[in-house]
């Protein structure tokens, strides 16, 4: 259906139409010069191709004898009964009487056919973008000018917004270039309409979010990106319901976010209003990596991956391990106080192509082999420093930039490895036993054709509590004493140092003892003033006398922890290993008190290597 201006023009004549349209408060088009049979065949012969404007375009002229009163610019170009298969082949160009050539439609309408009446208007003034319709026909209607691939000024053709082309009398020329062969079409006629610059409309299309998407993991800070929204001068960014306005470009730098999943979306905005929100996407911020202290063999551990040979086609996966892997053994001592392995760090100083070929295995001093990374990353490269954590970092499936997995923090990945195959177990990093001794890193290559160079690797441990941690509240005795328990150091599984427990502020000359649990903390009423602070079952040490003065708070109890454990090999918790914990408390006589006894506070001790 033709617009009001075209129908009036054809029925009443130019002057009458100009008068009617000028009286319409909302109208921007004041009149049109109507072509009659001024179309043509597209292309007239031949086709495009090559690097210059195609030969034999369709060329049609339209003489504008007068411009409607008050009109200053071109507002619309109307194409009547346009038919052409594969509209993306075509570029429509308008030359004004002054000889300036303007790009109207630059190979838009991907994979679509033309078949109807089309009005082309400036961007952001009420039209809609040309669709991508995969072989269907573009419906008749009003569409936004689209410059397509054309770079303004190329071949003397400028990307000029329609509504800034000056209204002029004289001869206007419409040219249609067909840039590719195999398709032809026809245009019945075209009209040229003039008026005043129309007001800008709000964006009509939503953004397409590009990164991060698909609930992938991100490392902070991260950048949210999306495709440019036509007509938008700024953007609103919504993250978990909190909206940031006035974002000037199609990206948003996110510096901080809490660990966990987050949802985000974007909409375009201009002075007239806001467009529709994009379909939301999600991303995940991993738990922050815990602090750690690293030890490693240094540059001496560098080597080819694989050292020589290869795993072949991978057909033997996971039954038969590849020959000639990278392997390096080093005597390493965890830092003092370490109770768990936090991460394994490795540095590919020369990229290894096709990360999906590799499996990385760590063997502890006791001979246990643990799967760290198993055939993740597909065809991407490993290049740089990577840290593998049990519960921090992003997944390897987060993608690779430019063919390379970005260096950074990643989650341990067992891949499809059946735990225990070839005595390699899917052990979380933080559960790998901590011990001083020979540690071995092995990298298997399960397929041929790719190599790389590992510069060095490191094991990174927590520092552990420097000293036992006090908790719970001591009872108050009949004489106002609050017994306090402490230890000079955490115990060592290898008896590397002394561990002496002392209880001060005990009632003088009272019998008592120190007891412990391996089951955890507890806060349970014991009598009117004190609490039982360790869970059953418990292990008692030998009874002793506090010394000091009766009625005073100068008694003490003590225990050489290492000596007690050596003398009692079947005591609760024996044999001890690094990372094991014990919770200890003191008990002593206090006849006037409830249960005729009282209790100290408690301590939590963590075994070191």
Residue 373 included in any domain: yes
Determine, yes or no, domain membership for 74: yes
Peptide bond into 306 cis (omega under 30): yes
Among 401, 426, 461, the domain-final residue is 461
Domain boundary among 240, 269, 285: 285
State CA 165 to chain mean position distance: 45
Residue-wise pLDDT tens digits, 525-534 = 999 889 999 9
Q: What percent of the chain has pLDDT over 90?
A: 66
Model confidence at 292: pLDDT above 50:
yes
List the end-to-end C-alpha distance of the chain, in Å, as a whole number: 85
* Same-domain status, 48 and 91: yes
Sign of the dihedral defined by the CA atoms of residues 583, 589, 590, 594, in that order: positive
CB-based contact 532:526 (threshold 8 Å) = yes
Rounded Cα–Cα distance for residues 290 and 435 (Å): 20
**Separation of alpha carbons 177 and 301, rounded Å:** 64
563-569-570 Cα angle (round to 5): 135
- Is 168 within the bounds of a domain? yes
CB-based burial label for 415 (10 Å; 0-12, 13-18, 19+): middle
CATH number at residue 508: 2.20.130
On whether both 519 and 580 belong to a single domain, the answer is: yes
Same domain, 313 and 413: yes
pTM equals: 0.54
Contact 102, 113 (CB under 8 A): no
| pLDDT-wise least confident of 3-17, 195-209, 311-325, 555-569 | 3-17
pLDDT at 4 over 50: no
What size, in residues, is the chain?
Answer: 609
pLDDT value of residue 602: 96
Indicate whether 97 and 233 sit together in one domain.
no
Domain identity same for 482 and 505 = yes
On whether both 62 and 187 belong to a single domain, the answer is yes
Q: How many domains does the chain have?
A: 4
pLDDT digits over 39-66, tens only?
Answer: 999 987 666 655 678 888 999 999 999 9
Domain with residue 280: its CATH number is 2.60.40.10
Q: Is residue 128 in a domain? A: yes
Single out the residue of 464, 519, 521 nearest to residue 493, CA to CA. 464
Indicate whether 24 pLDDT > 50.
no
pLDDT at 464: 67
Q: What is the CATH number of the domain that holds 25?
A: 2.60.120.260
Structure token digits, residue 438: 């020979």
Running DSSP on this structure, what letter comes out for residue 357?
G
pLDDT at residue 14, as a whole number? 35
Assess whether 62 and 164 both reside in one domain: yes
CATH number at residue 333: 2.60.120
Tell me, what's the pLDDT at 426?
97
- pLDDT of 50: 58
CB 522 within 8 A of CB 534: yes
Q: Is residue 204 part of a domain?
A: no
Q: Does 484 share its domain with 559?
A: yes
What average pLDDT does range 422-443 have in this prediction?
A: 95
pLDDT tens for each residue of 134-173? 778 999 999 999 998 889 999 999 999 999 999 999 999 9
What are residue 458's DSSP bridge partners?
A: 345
Residues 6+ apart with CB under 8 A from 257: 220, 239, 285
Q: What is the dihedral of CA 27, 28, 33, 38, to 10 degrees?
A: -100
> Do 91 and 151 have their domain in common?
yes
Residue 554 lies in a domain: yes
For residue 312, the model assigns a pLDDT of 58
201 falls within a domain? no
Pick the range with the lowest mean pLDDT from 17-31, 456-470, 471-485.
17-31
- In 10 A of CB 423, how many CB atoms? 10
Element spanning 562, H or E? helix 561-567
Which residues in 195-220 are b (16+ Cβ under 10 Å) and which e? bbebebbbbbbbbebebbbeebbbee
Taking a C-beta distance cutoff of 8 angstroms, is the pair 452, 351 a contact? yes
87 falls in which pLDDT band (50, 70, 90)? confident
Least confident of 264-268, 334-338, 410-414: 334-338
Number of other residues whose CB lies within 10 A of the CB of residue 354? 20
- Average pLDDT taken over every residue of the chain: 89
**What average pLDDT score do residues 456-466 get?**
85
Identify the domain containing residue 267 by its residue range: 209-285
Instruction: Answer for the pair 140, 155: CB distance below 8 angstroms, yes or no.
Output: no
The pLDDT of residue 48 is 64
Query: What mean pLDDT comes out for the span 533-555?
Result: 96
In what side-by-side order are the strands of the sheet with 424-425? 326-332, 437-445, 358-363, 369-374, 424-425
pLDDT at position 581 over 80: yes
The pLDDT-based confidence of 453 (bands split at 50, 70, 90) is: very high
What pLDDT is recorded for position 13? Answer: 36
Lowest mean pLDDT of 300-314, 356-370, 497-511, name the range: 300-314
- Give the pLDDT of residue 158: 96
Domain boundary among 245, 261, 285: 285
Please give, one letter per residue, the 3-state secondary structure of 11-23: HHCHHHHHHHHHC
Q: Identify whether residues 179 and 154 lie together within a single domain.
A: yes
Beta strands 408-411 and 381-389 are parallel
Q: Please indicate, yes or no, whether residues 9 and 154 belong to a single structural domain of this protein.
A: yes
Express each pLDDT in 221-269 by its tens digit: 899 999 999 889 999 999 999 999 999 999 999 999 998 899 999 999 9
567: left (phi over 0), alpha (psi -120 to 50) or beta: alpha
Q: What percent of the chain has pLDDT over 70?
A: 92
Task: Kindly state whether residue 203 falls inside one of the protein's structural domains.
Answer: no
Could you tell me if 324 and 448 lie in one domain? yes
């Amino acid at each position: 259906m033709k617009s009001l201006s075209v129908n009036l023009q054809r029925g009443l004549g130019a002057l009458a139409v100009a008068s009617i349209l000028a009286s319409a408060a909302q109208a921007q088009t004041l009149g049109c010069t109507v072509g009659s049979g001024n179309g043509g065949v597209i292309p007239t012969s031949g086709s495009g191709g090559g690097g210059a404007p195609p030969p034999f375009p369709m060329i049609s002229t339209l003489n504008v004898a007068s411009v409607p009163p008050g009109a200053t610019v071109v507002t619309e170009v109307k194409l009547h009964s346009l038919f052409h298969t594969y509209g993306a082949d075509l570029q429509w160009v308008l030359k004004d009487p002054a000889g300036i050539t303007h790009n109207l439609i630059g190979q838009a309408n991907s994979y679509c056919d033309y078949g109807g009446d089309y009005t082309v208007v400036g961007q952001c003034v009420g039209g809609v973008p040309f669709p991508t319709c995969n072989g269907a026909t573009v419906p008749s209607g009003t569409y936004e000018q689209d410059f397509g691939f054309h770079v303004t000024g190329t071949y003397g053709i400028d990307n000029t917004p329609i509504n800034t082309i000056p209204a002029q009398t004289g001869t206007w020329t419409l040219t249609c270039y067909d840039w590719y062969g195999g398709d032809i079409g026809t245009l019945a006629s075209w009209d040229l309409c003039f008026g005043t610059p129309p007001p800008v409309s709000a964006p009509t299309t939503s953004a397409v979010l590009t990164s991060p998407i698909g609930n992938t993991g991100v490392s902070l800070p991260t950048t949210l990106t999306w495709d440019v929204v036509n007509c938008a001068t700024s953007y609103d960014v919504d993250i978990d319901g909190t909206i940031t306005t006035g974002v000037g470009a199609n990206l948003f730098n996110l510096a901080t976010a809490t660990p966990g999943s987050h949802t985000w979306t974007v909409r375009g905005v201009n002075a007239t209003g806001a467009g529709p929100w994009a379909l939301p996407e999600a991303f995940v911020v991993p738990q922050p990596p815990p602090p750690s202290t690293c030890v490693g063999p240094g540059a001496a551990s560098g080597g080819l991956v694989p050292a020589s040979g290869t795993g072949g086609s991978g057909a033997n996966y996971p039954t038969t391990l590849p020959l000639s892997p990278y392997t390096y053994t080093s005597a390493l001592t965890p830092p003092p106080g370490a109770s768990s392995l936090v991460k394994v760090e490795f540095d590919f100083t020369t990229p290894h192509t096709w990360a999906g070929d590799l499996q990385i295995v760590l063997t502890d001093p006791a001979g246990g082999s643990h799967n760290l990374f198993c055939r993740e990353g597909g065809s991407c490269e490993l290049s740089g420093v990577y840290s593998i954590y049990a519960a921090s970092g992003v997944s390897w499936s987060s993608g690779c930039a430019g063919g390379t997995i970005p260096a950074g923090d990643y989650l341990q990945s067992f891949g499809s490895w059946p735990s225990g195959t070839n005595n390699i177990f899917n052990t979380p990093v933080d559960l790998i036993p901590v011990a001083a001794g020979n540690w071995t890193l092995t990298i298997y290559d399960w397929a041929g054709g790719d190599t790389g160079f590992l510069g060095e690797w490191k094991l990174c441990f927590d520092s552990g509590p420097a000293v036992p941690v006090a908790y719970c509240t001591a009872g108050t005795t009949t004489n106002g004493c609050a017994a306090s328990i402490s230890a000079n150091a955490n115990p060592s599984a290898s008896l590397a140092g002394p561990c002496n427990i002392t209880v001060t502020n005990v009632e003088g000359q009272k019998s008592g003892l120190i007891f412990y649990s391996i089951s955890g903390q507890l806060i349970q009423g014991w009598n009117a003033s004190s609490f039982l602070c360790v869970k059953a079952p418990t292990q008692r040490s030998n009874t002793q006398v506090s010394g000091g003065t009766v009625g005073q708070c100068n008694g003490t109890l003590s225990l050489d922890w290492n000596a007690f454990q050596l003398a009692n090999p079947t005591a609760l918790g024996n044999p001890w290993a690094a990372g094991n914990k014990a919770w200890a408390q003191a008990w002593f006589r206090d006849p006037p008190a409830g249960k005729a006894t009282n209790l100290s506070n408690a301590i939590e001790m963590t075994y070191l290597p």
